[in-house]
Amino acid sequence: MIILGIETSCDETGVAIYDSKNKKLIANQIYSQAKLHSYYGGVVPELASRNHIKTILPMIKAALLEAKKKLNSIDAIAYTAGPGLAGSLLVGATISHSLAYSLNIPAVPVNHMEGHLLSPMLENNKPDFPFVALLVSGGHTQLIQAHDFGKYKILGESVDDAAGEAFDKVAKLLGIKYPGGSMLEKIARKGKINKFNFPRPMIHQKNMNFSFSGLKTFTANIIRENNFDKKIFFDIALGFENAIIDVLIKKCYLALKFTGYNKLIIAGGVSANLSLRNKLKKMVKKNQANLFFSRIEFCTDNGAMIAYAGMMRLKSKTFKNQLNIQIYPKWSLMDISEIF
Ligand code: KG4
Ligand code: ZN
């Protein structure tokens, strides 16, 4: 089966084609709108949806060209139906349903977070169920007990800012343009350890929840107390990064102990962070468990994970093709089966 995957939930337009018979991704096109939004310091929803409209058709054409496939060789179209920005989701949902209707093939709604959760399965070293998943993106920080495909339980999540959001906000205070997570990581590499003792919110609590919003205020205070001295920015970046990683590691440890599982997967934009990956590797090794993640380009939003999740949904036989175009901007992983 040849599946076209379409991702338009936020500020990346992703189009990919997955060949399920050969278990191979045969096209992957990603267009990031980051430059467009960085001028405003964050995503402007109306600009995002308008930009998806402009880019989606040329990107579908580019993906077909890359895969050397004709449109009529596509067997199904998977698209992100939520969670995400309503206007942006509508672009992907509308084009997917229209194309699918004209080709007489199914249009499969995919939960964006389930796409992230399954993204390590696009790699050679793929995890199988059950596993614990740490989903760390710009909009979510969640620990998931993934019992089987579609059977997920949220063990804990952020009570305020998501990890990626905290990275972006602290990056902004350090003068880094949106989205600042990956640049902050590079700056942190030049910092000195233990120069600033950042708090580790909720690290000693036995639950698996997170809180990251206070780290922004803490950073703002340090910057002010040091008279906006740019020389300390490297140390601040490292101090902040270490604090957030320590909390993520501790809560992953608790989740492994709680479930008794020996597989941990990390996914979402922040899982591209090499320091997080390396420290998690050490923690899982110490606990006789294994860590799984995707290549860096599939950590942030992409169409490949949506095509893959759509293929899994079709295979699970839990899917009924519907003609109405529906989006679910607040669709939780806990309610995944409700729309099928
Ligand atoms: O998963 P994603 O592309 O979008 C959402 O679904 O939200 O995640 C984007 C987030 C941004 O906040 C970005 O700053 C963060 O992931 N990010 C990183 C790194 N690369 C991307 N955060 C920390 N370190 C990185 N290397
Ligand atoms: Zn995402």
The predicted structure's pLDDT at residue 79: 98
Token pair, residue 131, equals 């596993």
Tell me the two tokens of residue 232.
């300390």
Q: What is the mean pLDDT of the chain?
A: 97
How far, in Å, is the centroid of ligand 2 from the Cα of 228? 33
Please compute the mean of the pLDDT values over residues 302-328 and round it to a whole number.
Answer: 95
Instruction: Kindly tell me the burial class for residue 144, based on how many C-beta atoms sit within 10 Å of its own C-beta (0-12, 13-18, 19 or more).
Output: buried
Global pTM value: 0.97
Q: How many helices (H) and strands (E) does the chain have?
A: 10, 10
What's the token pair of residue 238?
């490292």
The CB of 19 under 6 Å from ligand 1? The reply is no
Pocket perturbation via mutation, ligand 1, pick of 297, 300, 302, 331 by most ligand atoms within 8 A of CB: 300
Q: Determine the 3-state secondary structure of 106 from DSSP.
A: coil
Nearest ligand 1 atom to the CA of 299 is 1
268 lines ligand 1 (CB under 6 A): yes
Looking at residue 31, its amino acid is: Y
CB 66 within 8 A of CB 26: yes
From the alpha carbon of 273, which atom of ligand 1 is closest? 26
Cβ-contact 225, 251 below 8 angstroms: no
Tens-place pLDDT, residues 203-217: 999 999 999 999 999
- pLDDT confidence of residue 320: 87
| Number of alpha carbons in the 13 Å side-chain half-sphere of residue 256 | 22
What is the four-CA torsion angle of 204, 241, 302, 62, rounded to 10 degrees?
180
Q: Is 222 in the pocket of ligand 1 (CB under 6 A)?
A: no
CB-ligand 1 contact for 83 (6 Å cutoff):
no
Tell me, rounded to whole angstroms, the distance of Cα 112 from its chain centroid: 8
Q: What is the pLDDT of residues 85-121, one digit of tens each?
A: 999 999 999 999 999 999 999 999 999 999 999 999 9
